[in-house]
Amino acid sequence: MFKVKILQLFDSFVLNTVGPYYRRIGKSLLSQGNDMLGSEASDDRLVQCLRQVQTNGQTPQISDALFTAPNSVLVGNVILKQNSSVWYGATLRADQNAITVGKNALIQDNVYVKATQPVTLGNNSYVGPNSNLQGCLIGDDAFIGMGSTIKQGASVQGIVAAGSLVPEGTQIKQGEVWAGSPAKYLRDITPQELQILREYKQELLELAQVHGEETSKNFRQVVIDTDERLIKQSRGTEEEALQKIAELNFPLEYEDEEFIEQRVFMKQQPPMFMDSENLFSQQDQYEQDLSQFSENMQKYSEDYQIYEEAKKYFESNPQAKANQFQPKNEIPDEKPWSRKY
């Protein structure tokens, strides 16, 4: 515990003190180098993360979001509420007015939202890929199909089909389905369709959590995950079985566990005695061991065949005596156990 505290203090010191100090030194050296080069100076500079671009003193608030893609662009007064997500290539420009994204809202890939007027996306709302929103209101549980355009002043509480154009000032009520360019009322949504949309949104929320965890990993976590993946690829099936049994707390007898561990050992260790024929064989180690007793197995097979023939004979002739049956191959008398055949 004490060592962990020391490591945490060291990491904090490096992050808050040493790192910024070296960055200032680097910037100073870069500036001096450019002054020395004059007209030959390089204008290379680091581009900041576009997920948080400050304008007019307003900075995007994304701490409560479930997932914001690394290449998404959030400018100005953008507020992402709990479990909301902004996917890859989406742009939210709130440099003129505010953009508020409600809880569990989903803004899909390459969506463009411009706040010519204040924009509000309600809770559990969905905006499909390649859609364009301008100064509009998207209500709770609303669904905007992919490639749709919602003009300024429009209010969408229901469903907009893919590729539709909703003109300025249009009012779409909850439960209505609109489609076309310009969009017009089509029909009311059915309960089955509504359930399908809810399940689809839930699947995307779960997927957003996975993407959020992966994109938020630091360099050290990525390296550790890579090592674990390589170890898993090189691990045998028996080792995976042991690990899964341990994770599930599956009741396992000592003999069973010893058997599995022995198979793991036999897979990893070559047999002590192996002839040239088995050296390059891809058979299981136990099969290779059995192949060393081929003569014994052949004799056992012959004896078992004699026994099967005798058994069939006496079953078909219940009145026959044992000495009436003569096997095909004569068995030596020095083996008393064979006389019953």
146 and 259 fall within a common domain: no
Q: State the pLDDT at residue 295.
A: 62
189 and 71 fall within a common domain: yes
Q: What's the predicted TM-score (pTM) here?
A: 0.59
Question: Does any domain span residue 222?
Answer: no
The pLDDT > 90 percentage for the chain reads 43
| The total number of structural domains that make up the chain | 4
d(CA 239, CA 43): 54
85 and 138 fall within a common domain: yes
Residue 86 sits in a domain whose CATH number is 2.160.10.10
308 and 260 fall within a common domain: no
Question: Does any domain span residue 51?
Answer: no
Q: State the pLDDT at residue 10.
A: 81
Q: State the pLDDT at residue 251.
A: 61
Share of the chain residues as helix, strand and coil, in percent rounded to the nearest 5: 45, 20, 40
Question: Which of 133, 167, 196 is the C-terminal boundary of a domain?
Answer: 196
Q: State the pLDDT at residue 55.
A: 87
- Over range 97-120, report the average pLDDT: 95
299 and 286 fall within a common domain: no
- Over range 260-283, report the average pLDDT: 52
Question: Does any domain span residue 227?
Answer: no
Please state, as a whole number, how many other Cβ atoms lie within 10 Å of the Cβ of residue 260.
15
- Domain holding 159, by residue range, is 67-196
Q: Who has greater pLDDT, 295 or 162? A: 162
Please state, as a whole number, how many other Cβ atoms lie within 10 Å of the Cβ of residue 78.
29
177 and 263 fall within a common domain: no
Name the token pair of 309: 């023939």
Q: State the pLDDT at residue 239.
A: 65
Q: List CB contacts of 302: < 8 A, sequence separation 6 or more.
A: 329
Pick left, alpha or beta for residue 202 (phi over 0 → left; psi -120 to 50 → alpha; otherwise beta). Answer: alpha
Question: Does any domain span residue 46?
Answer: no
Question: Which of 276, 291, 306 is the C-terminal boundary of a domain?
Answer: 291
Question: Does any domain span residue 99?
Answer: yes
d(CA 304, CA 300): 6
